[in-house]
Amino acid sequence: MDKKKKIAIETNGVEIIPDDQRFSTTTDLFRLIFGGANTFATVVLGSFPIIFGLSLGAGLMSIIIGVIIGAFILAPMGLFGPKNGTNNAVSSGAHFGIHGRIVGSFLSLLTAITFFSLSVWSSGDALIGGLKRVIGIHETNTNLALAYAFFAIIVLLICIYGFRLLVTVSKLAVLGASIMFILGIPAFSSEVDWHYAGQVHLGDAAFWPVFTGATIIAMSNPISFGAFLGDWSRYIPVKTPKFKIMRAVFVAQLATFLPFFFGLITASIVATQAPTYITQNNYIGGLLAISPTWYFFPLCIIALLGGLSTGTTALYGTGLDISSILPRILRRVSATIIIGLLSIVFIFIGRFVFNLTTAVSTFAVLIITCTSPWIAIMVIGYIQRKGYYSPEDLQVFNRGLRGGIYWFNHGWNWRGMMAWIPSAILGICFVNIPGQFIGPLGNTFGGIDFSLVVTLLSSAVLYLIFTTIFPEPAEVFGPSHEPQEPSI
């Protein structure tokens, strides 16, 4: 692969990736996932247990539990890309119908806006804060806006060039950001109070609601990748062992403990030495206030690489997917530009108009409660069909055709839709993140957030009931059945 080819603008949309272009490996998949999460955005999520008032020990447990559970839920979603040669939203048409795959597109858009915005916000704040200490630049809204615009435009350009440049950026992000986080050990180790108690303790009435809320926030990070994994894994050869793909996904999420723990530990230092920053939900400002001068340069490197990596992995997939919904109007590049510009508008409104912490928490909740049942239905469907899919029939909508084995009822598989819709709504109703978002049924279990349990169980049970009582067409289960030909 020559250098010129690496930086050429990608022309592939969501059509099936030919075998001779399947140049990616499970190591590349690991780098993309870890690179997209080894950033300041994840560091900010890691600070939430302290912001919520938990002790260092309880915060550590909430992150470990959240990331591991989220990684288990996410891992199978890496299998659809190599199998079908397309993104996960298009693959979901096998279970939601050719038109029903817009559910995956909606989830992709929701996640992209959240994490693209979070990456730009956190990286921009860190860059301006660092420059304030080093050269005395003022932390004004104008300077912050310029920093946000800088990161957002660079991210947009990388996404326009496409997958190859994305892989290159992720390689730099994994190595560079990891080194900078490790340098944080000598920078902050002497300041850590390993017995930091927080304000909410085990035995308090508020402890378990706050603990589960922090766990949900941590879990949102791995689950947020569910709609995007196919964007990257579609370049992996179809014969790659399934175990290697799922292992790459799972291990990449475990590797995110590095930025998560960095955020958690440094937030506890900020809460001790500069508590005003925590009460004002300004963790990044507090981090910059307590950082040694020599660590500003590593901090700026994390901000730069992290902002580019998280932003590109989020925005790239959404531009790719939106182009498949309007294939006759938008190509991948034009769709990426439109979604990028809309996201930039949201970034400025969200940062300068609304409360940042509340906005992030709310969107994280929506990602969990809406994406988890979608993933459950996809995985159950994969198992039911023993991994059989017809990649050509999944492309019917993108080609402006009708019919195929996934046409079901006018392009909708009501079994998947009727399992997902009530499960997502029910999950939102049971959300309980104190001080951030509480659903109408959020206090049912003594204030403990059972939204994930409710949404996963209800979607799995409903989908199994519907597919058992109303079996899907026989041809979706294997090649021995003759599918109807797609027609214009």
DSSP state of 471: P
- The answer to whether the CB of 368 falls within 8 A of the CB of 451 is yes
Residue 233 counted as domain residue: yes
Residue 316 is predicted with a pLDDT of 63
Q: Report how far Cα 434 is from the mean position of its chain's Cα atoms.
A: 23
Residue 246 counted as domain residue: yes
Residue 3 is predicted with a pLDDT of 42
DSSP state of 15: S
Two tokens, residue 393: 């029939």
Residue 204 counted as domain residue: yes
Beta bridge partners, 432, equal 438
Domain that holds residue 156: 15-357
Residue 156 counted as domain residue: yes
User: How many structural domains comprise the chain?
Assistant: 1
Has this prediction a pTM greater than 0.75?
Answer: yes
Number of H helices, E strands in the chain: 22, 2
Residue 166 counted as domain residue: yes
In terms of Cβ atoms closer than 10 Å to its own Cβ (0-12, 13-18, 19+), residue 183 is middle
Residue 103 counted as domain residue: yes
**CATH number assigned to the domain comprising residue 70:** 1.10.4160.10
Residue 112 counted as domain residue: yes
Q: pLDDT of the chain along its 488 residues, tens only?
A: 444 444 454 445 567 888 888 888 999 899 888 877 887 778 888 999 999 999 999 999 999 999 999 999 999 999 999 999 988 988 999 999 999 988 988 887 777 777 777 777 777 777 777 777 777 787 788 888 888 888 777 777 776 665 566 666 666 666 777 888 888 889 999 999 999 999 999 989 889 989 998 998 899 889 988 887 887 899 899 999 999 999 999 999 999 999 999 999 999 999 999 888 877 777 877 887 888 878 877 777 776 666 666 666 666 666 666 666 665 555 666 777 777 777 777 777 766 766 666 666 677 778 889 999 999 999 999 999 999 999 999 988 877 788 899 999 999 999 999 999 999 999 999 988 766 678 899 888 877 888 888 999 999 999 999 999 999 999 999 876 544 444 44
Residue 377 is predicted with a pLDDT of 97
Residue 246 is predicted with a pLDDT of 97
Residue 379 is predicted with a pLDDT of 96
Instruction: Find the largest Cα–Cα distance for the chain.
Output: 71
Residue 135 is predicted with a pLDDT of 77
CA 89, CA 316: separation in Å to the nearest integer? 14
- The answer to whether the CB of 65 falls within 8 A of the CB of 72 is no
Residue 115 counted as domain residue: yes
Crossing angle of helices 283-290 and 296-325, rounded to 10°:
150
Residue 392 is predicted with a pLDDT of 92
Q: How many other β-carbons are positioned within 10 Å of the β-carbon of residue 421? A: 15
